[in-house]
Amino acid sequence: MEWFIANWSFIAGLAWTHLSISIPPIILGSVIAIVMARVIPTRFVTPTRTILGAIYAIPSLALFVVLPAVLGTKFIGPTNVIIALTIYAITSMYFSARDAFRQVPVATMTTSRALGMNSRQMFVHVELPLAVPGLIAGLRVVAASTISIASIGAVVGVRNLGYLFIDGFQRKIPEEIISGLVAISVIALALDAGLWLLGRAMTPWRNAKVARA
Amino acid sequence: MKLKRVTAIALSAGLMLGVAGCASTATPSADPIVIGSQAYYSNEIIAEAYAQVLEDAGFSVERQFSLGQRDVYMPAIEAGEIDLFPEYTGNLLQYFVPEATETTAADVYAALSAALPAGLSALAMSPATDQDSYNVTEEFATANKLTSIADLATLKDLKLGGAPELAERPYGPKGLLEKYGVTVTFEATGDTTVDSLVAGQVSLANVYSADPRISQLKLVTLSDPLGLFLASNVVPIASDSVTADARALIDAVSAAMTPADLVALNVRSVEEKLSASVIARDWLVSKGLLK
Amino acid sequence: MLDVGALGAWFSDAANWTGRYGLVNLLGEHLWLTFVSIALASLIAVPLGLFIGHTGRGEVFVIGLGSLSRAIPTMGLLFALVLLLGVEFRELSVVLALAVIALPPLIAGAYSGVASIPPSIRDSATAQGMTAWQLVRHVELPLASPSIIGGFRIAFIQVVSTVVLAPLVGLGGLGFGIIQGLALRNFAQVTASSLVIIALTITGELLLGYWQRRAADRLGIPTNLEKP
């Protein structure tokens, strides 16, 4: 606790960079995954799924290390970690997004078509809102795991809250490691709660009490 | 399905493969002096000292600290992404010239200056040293009458603990056998090396000589009469974009830092658990380099 | 860009396969750490999941635990455990940190397997005079088995890729090749180690997925293997 109080502004700074490294991949990865889930034709779904599954299996540490060599990006700076985290976010979110869209009942879609909606209207007004619960559920997983995996970036020199783990382990300061653990967990849980609230706000019809059979 | 899995493996392999010809063409940064440091608290304190004297003199500075190990950040320095970096003469020389045989501080420094790639130079080295060293516990040293690495030659079942890369270093197991006839089995203990030594899981440990725990835990550092380790003084590595004014300021920091100072800085870091910036500042003030 | 040659040379060098830190040994260690962690987690997770599914109490707990465990960075948890327990207990620390990752999918698998059993099946079992224990043992557990295996599949994928961190606290496993390769800038070694981990992950996933489908086929339940 003492260490935490003495270093809180330093921790706050690290938390800020941690967020700046994690938020872009969460947004970017999710948007790309949702678009992919919508536009990839059914016959390519199995290969896509297989490729994403294999990419998901690449250890994050290895991906952080080899990206600058593969992409020609700078060796230092957060770019490599942001790209790697975006790739993971896509692999995770793609599956959730596909499930979410598949759960939209076919009957609802047919009805909207019959009501004279065009494809765009159907997507914006029917399909997307109905997929929101599934998308939010997927987004919550992506958000929490991105915040948590980002800390491994500290091993390859991207300074964020993960720095507290490495530095604390070298200097044998348990408080430093625990401060990092608490800070990351709090951020991840806050984001999780925020997304949950967002989901509720976006689907007011689900909160209405409905008599169930 | 199975065939597609194989395709996927091949694809992710492709993603990972393009790994050899990693030539980045980043241009040297223009304005602020980018200062890097290793992911090592002691190195960070030195880098912080450089940063503070430069800032005090009105230079704008960008800190890129805890950039991992040498093999990770050197490409970034060579690519001009970093302008100034606290280094260690012997270890850095071995990075460029693995078979280097120089052992004295002056020889190592001269060889390093010659070995540095174009665009980089070694500023004046500091008397402060921090080098790899082999250590045993006090009990083990007494029981086996150990003072030098050479004394290990008669011992059997020696377990050497150190970072994973020590397995391949010239002063690692291979060097021990060739120079001293000492046979060890290697245990990659990483950041738990000192603890593993104290816990008896390894009998010999590679510890940086300025590590405060050597004195705290009464470890015995074995002497190295045949020069397995190269002398390793703290030395700032600067790119050509660092001006003469800035170099003079850094030289003053290097000159002021004694070997005892460096150990004392490290002690403050692990005992008082202070941040690098506070420790560096206090030290600079005590040396009159900062008001 | 592609340097298949260096990779091939790395794989065909016998020295990289044998010895304390050879591929064979590291692979064994990797599998062992994965196996023990999942086994330990399952001792708690499967009974707990069955209990929650059986009683219908604590569903909120399952969801909350899932969020919490994803939010805790394994590297930090691992370092904290090693520091607090001491290096003598580094194996235990790794196993505990990994078990934390394995818990949520295992609990969720067991829970949702039981929760998705139609009430009519349970009612008829109770009507036949089965005790609560018999109901769990002879009805719920067998019917939930595909979902339980599915939980193991997801736990495996996550644990097997996180064991990579073990060398950071002085243990082995395939992460050694990555972490040592990182320090030595030996990218062939980093790539080779990663490929072995990817192949291991996919092989394990396929085997567990096959087992899950077999279990489901026996019961005539459709399976959805989509989510990783």
HEC secondary structure over B106-143 = HHHHHHHHHHCCCCEEECCCCCCECCEEEEECHHHHHH
CB distance B47 to C214 below 8 Å = no
CA distance C207 to chain B (A): 12
- Low-confidence winner among B27-41, B99-113, B206-220, B251-265 (lowest mean pLDDT): B27-41
User: Token digits for A187?
Assistant: 């951020």
CATH of domain C4-219: 1.10.3720.10
The secondary structure element, H or E, covering residue B237 is strand B234-239
Contacts of A199 (CB under 8 A, 6+ apart): A132, A133, A136, A137
Here the ipTM equals 0.88
Q: Which CATH architecture has domain B132-221?
A: 3-Layer(aba) Sandwich (3.40)
Is residue B32 less than 8 Å (CB to CB) from chain C? no
- The domains of chain C are located at 4-219
- Subunits touching C (CB < 8 Å, at least 3 pairs)? A, B
Residue of chain C with shortest Cα separation from B68: C183
Cβ–Cβ of A58/C72 closer than 8 Å?
A: no
**What average pLDDT score do residues B187-193 get?**
94
Residue A210 — pLDDT band, cuts 50, 70, 90?
low
Given this chain, do its domains B33-130+231-286 and B132-221 carry the same CATH topology?
yes
Based on C-alpha coordinates, what's the Rg of chain A?
Answer: 20
- What digits encode the pLDDT tens for the residues B49-93? 999 999 999 999 999 998 888 877 888 899 899 999 999 999 999
Q: Which of B3, B17, B78 to mutate to test the interface with C (most CBs of C within 10 A)?
A: B17
Residue B149 to residues A35, B100, B183, C167, C215: CA-CA distances in angstroms?
A: 63, 20, 11, 27, 61
Residue of B165, B193, B195 with shortest CB distance to C184: B165
Pairing status of strand B61-64 against strand B204-208: unpaired
The pTM of the full predicted model, rounded to 2 decimals, is 0.89
- What digits encode the pLDDT tens for the residues A173-203? 999 999 999 999 999 999 999 999 999 998 8
Q: At which residue do the structure tokens 């459709």 appear? A: C222
Give the ranges where chain A is alpha helix by DSSP (H): 2-6, 8-39, 45-56, 60-71, 79-102, 106-114, 119-121, 128-150, 162-171, 174-202, 204-207
Q: Which CATH superfamily is domain A2-204 in?
A: MetI-like (1.10.3720.10)
Mean residue pLDDT across chain A: 89
Query: Measuring CA to CA, which residue among B75, B63, B72 is closest to residue B120?
Result: B75
Residue A138 — pLDDT band, cuts 50, 70, 90?
very high
Cβ–Cβ of C76/A147 closer than 8 Å?
A: no
CA distance B4 to chain A (A): 6
Cβ–Cβ of A165/C75 closer than 8 Å?
A: yes
- Subunits touching A (CB < 8 Å, at least 3 pairs)? B, C
Chain C stretch 171-200, residues whose beta carbon is closer than 8 A to a beta carbon of chain A: 175, 178-179, 181-182, 187, 190-191, 193-194, 197-198
The Cα C214–Cα A76 span in angstroms is 48
Predicted pLDDT of residue B26? 38
Q: Which of B11, B16, B202 to mutate to test the interface with C (most CBs of C within 10 A)?
A: B16
Predicted pLDDT of residue C145? 94
Specify the CATH number for B33-130+231-286; select among 3.30.70.260, 3.30.1360.120, 3.90.1150.10, 3.40.190.10. Answer: 3.40.190.10
Per-residue pLDDT of chain C (228 residues; tens, 9 = 90+): 447 888 899 999 999 999 889 999 999 999 999 999 999 999 999 999 999 988 888 888 887 788 788 889 999 999 999 999 999 999 999 999 999 999 999 999 999 999 888 888 888 998 999 988 899 889 999 999 999 999 999 999 999 999 999 999 999 999 999 999 888 878 889 889 999 999 999 999 999 999 999 999 888 776 655 444
**What average pLDDT score do residues B231-237 get?**
96
Query: Measuring CA to CA, which residue among B202, B191, B242 is closest to residue B61?
Result: B242
Residue B209 to residues A150, B68, B159, B226: CA-CA distances in angstroms?
A: 33, 19, 20, 17
Cβ–Cβ of A184/C71 closer than 8 Å?
A: yes
pLDDT above 50 for B23? no
CB distance B141 to B147 below 8 Å = yes
Predicted pLDDT of residue A42? 84
- The domains of chain B are located at 33-130+231-286, 132-221
Mean residue pLDDT across chain B: 89
Residue C101 to residues A79, A92, A207, B79: CA-CA distances in angstroms?
A: 27, 16, 32, 39
The Cα A61–Cα A157 span in angstroms is 11
Pairing status of strand B234-239 against strand B84-88: antiparallel
Residue B277 — pLDDT band, cuts 50, 70, 90?
very high
CB distance A33 to A89 below 8 Å = yes
Cβ–Cβ of A76/B64 closer than 8 Å?
A: yes
- The domains of chain A are located at 2-204
